[in-house]
Amino acid sequence: MDQENIEKNAANSIAFQELITNNIINANKTQRYIRPIDLRFYVEDYLTEKWQGCIIKNDAIYKDALIIKLSHKAAIRFSDYLKKDGSRSSLQFDNQETLCLFDASIKDDVKRSKEVISYSHPLIKWITEERLNEPSVPYGCSSIKYHPDNVEAPLGMYVYYIQQWKAKGFKKENQLKYYVCNVDSQECLEPAIAEKIVSDAYMFGENNQRWNEYCDLRDAYDALDLIRNNANEEYQNYEKKFEDDNRGVCEQQKISLITTAARKIEQAEQSIETIKSNAGQTSQEKERYIKLQESIIKSIQERLKNQIDDVEQKLAVQCENPEICLGLLYIE
């Protein structure tokens, strides 16, 4: 299944993650209640996705709580928002961790220093503003119901996740990676089965607007975290291998270029020595021929330098793993 179809179908399907995002945005407008788990997901997902270097940890005691330390760049951006908003938060300092409670009902039980993260907290308002200012993404999140002819996995609710792995060095690679995890068992499917099920579901499945009847949202988040972590860990291994392989290919290419150039230069030099010892040609003829061979040698050397420079540039690989889409898949 090609990437264009995946993006098109995902963008037109029922939003799963987008539903949570819209809930937060609408809560700021209507001041209605939003669940602690939604707030936690909203914060954790945004900081993990957009700001590398942020420290986000589960609290050992409280369930709806996170220990957060913003990265230096995120802290600067958040501080700028606080100045504009006229508010304060200990999260603006990148040299300390802050216990963030997403359930205000437990704040009196927590004797440690903390911040209660409600829908009106500056952190939520900042994230909402940042998200609203983002350009629209080319992929979406969906919920699909699928009835396969041949069942290759246990029936039930799954979370699926697709990344695109792109790498550029001496060679280019571009591939889609599929991840599927059962929400109830938290077991991941084999890559080949995951790819087939997701591809078939996009082609033959239907929108599942009643996804919340089939699974617990917490379990779905756990499954998503699991396959996201698996995907990112596998990508790191892939990136390292690509860099190592690319380095080896570039070194071999340089050796080949140098060897080929040396052989051609040696041939030209031998031709020069041969013409010098040829008694049947005049000195003028010899001089013209020698100059020709010397220009050939110079051309070979210049071309070799350019080729080596080109290979050196390809030593610096460019790798990325953007998300294509994610969502829920119910196999019935």
pLDDT(134) > 50: yes
Given the structure tokens 């071309």, which residue do they identify?
A: 303
Handedness of CA 208, 212, 215, 220 (dihedral sign): positive
Provide the pairing of β-strand 141-146 with 323-331: parallel
Amino acid 12: pLDDT:
38
Segment among 85-89, 203-207, 231-235, 306-310 with least mean pLDDT: 203-207
Cβ proximity of 309 and 254 under 8 Å: no
Instruction: Give the pTM.
Output: 0.54
DSSP state of 188: B
Count of C-beta atoms within a 10 Å radius of residue 35: 15
Query: How many other β-carbons are positioned within 10 Å of the β-carbon of residue 58?
Result: 12
What per-residue confidence (pLDDT) applies to 141?
A: 62
Q: Which residue has the higher pLDDT, 326 or 18?
A: 326
pLDDT band at 22 (very low <50, low <70, confident <90, very high): low
Q: Does the pLDDT of residue 37 top 70, yes or no?
A: yes
Q: How far is CA 322 from CA 49, 137, 174, in A?
A: 10, 11, 11
Whether the CA torsion 26, 31, 34, 36 is positive or negative: it is positive
Q: Tell me: pLDDT of 180 over 90.
A: yes
Burial of 82 (0-12, 13-18, 19+ CB in 10 A): middle
